[in-house]
């Protein structure tokens, strides 16, 4: 990440720090060691970040100026006005689900629309099972990391996205986290299904081994 996507490396460290701090079962010493390592990594990545993007990521005004410069670059390079002028929630939808059949102009657009349809199903499944995802978030460390990283990368990409082609390429940086969340939820559902089946299979055996007195009393 440091070599090719410095900003993603910085986000990954922030997500790792949040995942470590939120963990209730993580021992204080382990948290301290993790945060010390993360701070060292953030210093190295931050220095590389400044030399790559030529602004101080610790300065909110510098970050705002950089975002404005990216937006101006999008306007000057034929950016999609519908994306650039949309509200933030709509930008997120455009990032993840465009093109979507109705605006697919060729075969590649249709293929991308099929991919986005699958993504829509995956995200809809996650929304419908929000309580399970929330439970996994607080209980499983790598889930905390994946969720925080996915949200942070999505927010960043939605802010700088200015055309459909750029969104198709850049959202791949958040895709691994999305698939990790989805796969973990599927594993949880499969485990719960197996547990229910085992309980259902155990009930007749329990009834079969009841004492005669129990039958007489029933």
62 contacts 56 by C-beta, under 8 angstroms:
yes
pLDDT, tens digit, 9 for 90 and up, residues 32-84:
888 888 888 877 777 776 666 666 665 666 666 666 666 665 555 555 767 77
The domain ranges of the chain are: 1-58, 79-200
**pLDDT over threshold 60, residue 151:** yes
**pLDDT over threshold 60, residue 218:** no
Tell me, letter by letter, the H, E, C secondary structure of 106-142.
CHHHHHHHHHHHHHHHHHHHHHHCHHHHHHHHHHCHH
Q: What is the mean pLDDT of residues 117-124?
A: 96
More confident call, 23 vs 186 = 186
Cα gap 66→202, rounded to integer Å: 62
Query: Poorest-confidence range of 8-22, 112-126, 128-142?
Result: 8-22
Q: What is the largest CA-CA distance in the chain?
A: 87
What global pTM score does this model have?
A: 0.76
21 contacts 138 by C-beta, under 8 angstroms:
no
Query: Poorest-confidence range of 3-7, 71-75, 110-114, 121-125?
Result: 71-75
> What's residue 178's pLDDT?
96
**pLDDT over threshold 70, residue 208:** no
pLDDT band per the 50, 70, 90 thresholds, residue 193: very high
pLDDT band per the 50, 70, 90 thresholds, residue 30: confident
Cα gap 141→154, rounded to integer Å: 20
167 contacts 187 by C-beta, under 8 angstroms:
no
Burial letters 136-168, b for 16+ CB under 10 A, else e: bbeebeebbbbbbbbebbbebbbebbbbbebbb
Tell me, letter by letter, the H, E, C secondary structure of 78-91.
CCCHHHHCCCHHHH
**pLDDT over threshold 70, residue 182:** yes
Most confident of 1-15, 39-53, 166-180, 204-218: 166-180
Token pair belonging to 136: 């996994």
């Amino acid at each position: 990440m440091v070599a090719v996507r410095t900003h993603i490396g910085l986000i990954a460290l922030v997500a790792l720090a949040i995942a470590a701090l939120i963990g209730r079962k993580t021992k204080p010493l382990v948290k301290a060691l993790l945060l010390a390592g993360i701070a060292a990594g953030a210093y190295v990545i931050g220095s590389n970040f400044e030399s790559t993007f030529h602004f101080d990521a610790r300065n909110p005004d510098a970050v705002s100026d950089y975002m404005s410069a990216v937006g101006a670059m999008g306007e000057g390079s034929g950016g999609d006005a519908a994306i650039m002028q949309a509200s933030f929630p709509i930008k997120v939808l455009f990032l993840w689900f465009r093109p979507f059949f109705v605006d697919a102009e060729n075969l590649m657009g249709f293929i991308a629309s099929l991919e986005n349809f699958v993504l829509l199903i995956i995200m809809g499944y996650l929304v419908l099972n929000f309580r399970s995802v929330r439970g996994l978030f607080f209980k499983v460390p790598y889930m905390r990391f994946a969720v925080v990283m996915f949200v942070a990368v999505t927010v960043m990409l939605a802010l700088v996205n200015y055309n459909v082609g750029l969104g198709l390429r850049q959202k791949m940086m958040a895709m691994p986290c999305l698939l990790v969340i989805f796969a973990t939820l599927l594993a949880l559902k499969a485990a719960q299904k197996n547990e229910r089946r085992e309980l259902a299979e155990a009930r007749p055996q329990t009834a079969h081994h009841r004492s005669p007195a129990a039958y007489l009393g029933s």
